[in-house]
Structure 1
Amino acid sequence: MKFESEGLISLNINGEIYDYKLYQSLESLARTRSQRKSAKELNISHTVFNRRILKAEDKLGIKLTQKAGNGTLLTQEGRELLDEYRKYTIQIEKTSNINIAGGHISSGLLESIHLPFNTNVYSSSDKDAFELAKRGVVDILTLDDPLLAYELNIDFTPIAYDYLVLISSPNSKEVNSINDLEGLEFVNVEGSAQRLAWNSLEHYDIDYNLKYTVNSQFDAFKMVKNSKNLHSFLNASYFKGNEILKFDTRHVISIIKVNEDKPEVDRFIEYLLNDGQKLIEKQGFTLI
């Protein structure tokens, strides 16, 4: 991907100006999950890339990135900063690019694959993305869970299937059957497809406790792994875990065409449903 500085904007945060280079770095890192890959993508050295992040962290007083295995992920604060930048640019720019807003899983999928289209992607909860769509600032709405579309009787286009896996704290008791979920404490992710897991537990008459609520699955994963006895159900496309509710939590990842007047939108959807399916499958999703 080629990056151009022309036309890109800077934002003033607490009296400090942060130019487009920081947001390019966060944007790339959100997609590659590797500082070295992002540095190569931006045509700068790994040292320059790392220094750029560290300088911003020092000025902001927050951590923007965190190590995850052999890679690097954005922290919650890093994602929020990037999301605000995306939201701002989507609203002020009049562009031929396809503007996309949606849930963290569905928008993350479209960010992760290299598509032959120019896109701007804003990641949030399904409900927040829907608010942007109502204001007419996005061309395509993506949904992690089609519940919102069902409730509002809106036509949607499935592009993949996903399901939820059980993520547990280290050294917590092993779960081999539905009954082993009795009495466990969970981290809830607001606005996600987790409702399918909670509905299933209630169907099986399992007593459970939603102890914490967070805004993203990545925050839930971090909280569970750093605790002694917490659990969560997260998307199998992004996380490896116990598939005990695989068939109960299978659901579609979908998109909704918002802008009827941009021809590129129709071509984009057509691509996702045909040639793009191979790219979607490589990201861990099940094909339609």
Structure 2
Amino acid sequence: MKLKSKGIINLDIDGEIYDYKLYQTLNSLSKTGSQRKSAKQLNISHTVFNRRLLKAEDRLGFKITQKKGNGTLLTPNGQALLDEYRKYLIQIEKTSEINICGGHISSGLLESINTPFNTNIYSSTDEDAFKLAKRGVVDLLALDDPLIAFERDLQLIPIAYDYLVLIASPNSKNIKSIHDLENLNFVSVQGSAQRLAWNTLKHYDIDYTIKSKVNSQFDAFKLVKNSENLYSFLNASYFNGNNILKFDTRHIISLVKVNDEKEEINKFIDYLLNTGQNAIKNQGFIPMD
């Protein structure tokens, strides 16, 4: 699949032009997990929404959505297509505003804080955000997991702490000790801080199985809640769950400064580390002080 931009909101995929409507469709569906909710959000009928997806799949030659329980999630190809749109939007939009790209958790935190700065915040995986940072198309890199920065000796700016909670499917067994996790089936989230949970289970010689892999914690949550005997470790700042690995999975939510030329970037970071800490706490994260 070859992709290239055509103007601000169109994308050329193997000679076919896809406009902003497909992007809106995928973007909304990635957040709601429901065709009906997304159709209502976009103010179109469910029939039109579904036809738009089917028409795109027919032209593309591959599936971009998949049924999961009572909802609809993006396939890996659908998520990749959405990510490409986001990348091109970032590259094209050359403004004086602060451009930030990061993991779903860190970017969600920054979006939720009302700051006096003009920001463009784009949600992706840590890995994809890092690729954009290397190309110099963002000013700040936001990381759900500091691993990428540690591996490359990048200078981290911690802005909050978080930890992972165990999310279980309905009617699952009660987990009281780490040994109750033996032989359970899990949903893995690519590029998240879940590596801390897996390392902990391995440390205690707990056998487990990764049954599914998804691109976001919100997809993992939907999958677990709509399935039988599935579990996942997700960020406590966004999800309520079992604190069994709270201390083993505590980690920092951080920023990496990519652009040193915009004076507003340093002011934005200073705001987050001082005045913004109360807002960070109110969003369910653990502040730095």
Question: Could you state the TM-score of these two structures normalised by the residue count of structure 1?
Answer: 0.79
2:261 aligns with 261
Note closer, same or farther for the CA distance 1:109–1:239 as it changes in structure 2 (3 Å cut).
Answer: same
> What are the ranges of 5 or more consecutive residues in structure 2 without an aligned counterpart?
1-6, 58-62
SS of 1:49 mapped into structure 2 = coil
Mapped partners of 2:169, 2:138: distance in 1: 38
Note closer, same or farther for the CA distance 1:189–1:25 as it changes in structure 2 (3 Å cut).
Answer: closer
Pick one of 73, 76, 99 that aligns with 2:74. 76
Is the Cα–Cα contact under 8 Å of residues 29 and 74 in structure 2 kept in the other structure?
Answer: no
1:70 aligns with none
Is the Cα–Cα contact under 8 Å of residues 158 and 253 in structure 2 kept in the other structure?
Answer: yes
1:110 aligns with 110
Mapped partners of 2:72, 2:138: distance in 1: 24
**Structure 2 letter corresponding to 1:49:** N
Note closer, same or farther for the CA distance 1:195–1:8 as it changes in structure 2 (3 Å cut).
Answer: same
1:49 is the counterpart of 2:50: no
Shift of 1:59: 4.9
Is the Cα–Cα contact under 8 Å of residues 83 and 122 in structure 1 kept in the other structure?
Answer: no
More off after superposition, 197-206 vs 243-252: 197-206
1:216 aligns with 216
Q: CA-to-partner distance for each residue in 1:212-267, whole Å, 9 max, x for gaps?
A: 22221112112212221111101111111111111111111000100011111111
Is the Cα–Cα contact under 8 Å of residues 86 and 120 in structure 1 kept in the other structure?
Answer: no
SS of 2:131 mapped into structure 1 = helix
Mapped partners of 1:156, 1:8: distance in 2: 32
1:183 aligns with 183
Is the Cα–Cα contact under 8 Å of residues 187 and 230 in structure 1 kept in the other structure?
Answer: yes
**Structure 1 letter corresponding to 2:19:** Y
Give percent identity, aligned residues only.
63
Note closer, same or farther for the CA distance 1:125–1:155 as it changes in structure 2 (3 Å cut).
Answer: same
After TM superposition, list the pairs within 5 Å mapping 1:49-198 onto structure 2. 49-51=43-45, 56-57=52-53, 59-60=55-56, 75-76=73-74, 82-198=82-198
**Structure 1 letter corresponding to 2:135:** R
Q: CA-to-partner distance for each residue in 1:17-54, whole Å, 9 max, x for gaps?
A: 534x8767987998999xxxx9xxxxxxx786345967
**Structure 2 letter corresponding to 1:178:** I
SS of 2:151 mapped into structure 1 = helix
Note closer, same or farther for the CA distance 1:158–1:248 as it changes in structure 2 (3 Å cut).
Answer: same
Aligned length: 271
> What are the ranges of 5 or more consecutive residues in structure 1 without an aligned counterpart?
1-6, 39-45, 67-72
Shift of 1:121: 2.0
Q: CA-to-partner distance for each residue in 1:103-158, whole Å, 9 max, x for gaps?
A: 11111211223332222222222122111111111100011011111111111111
The two structures, once aligned, show a CA RMSD in angstroms of 3.5
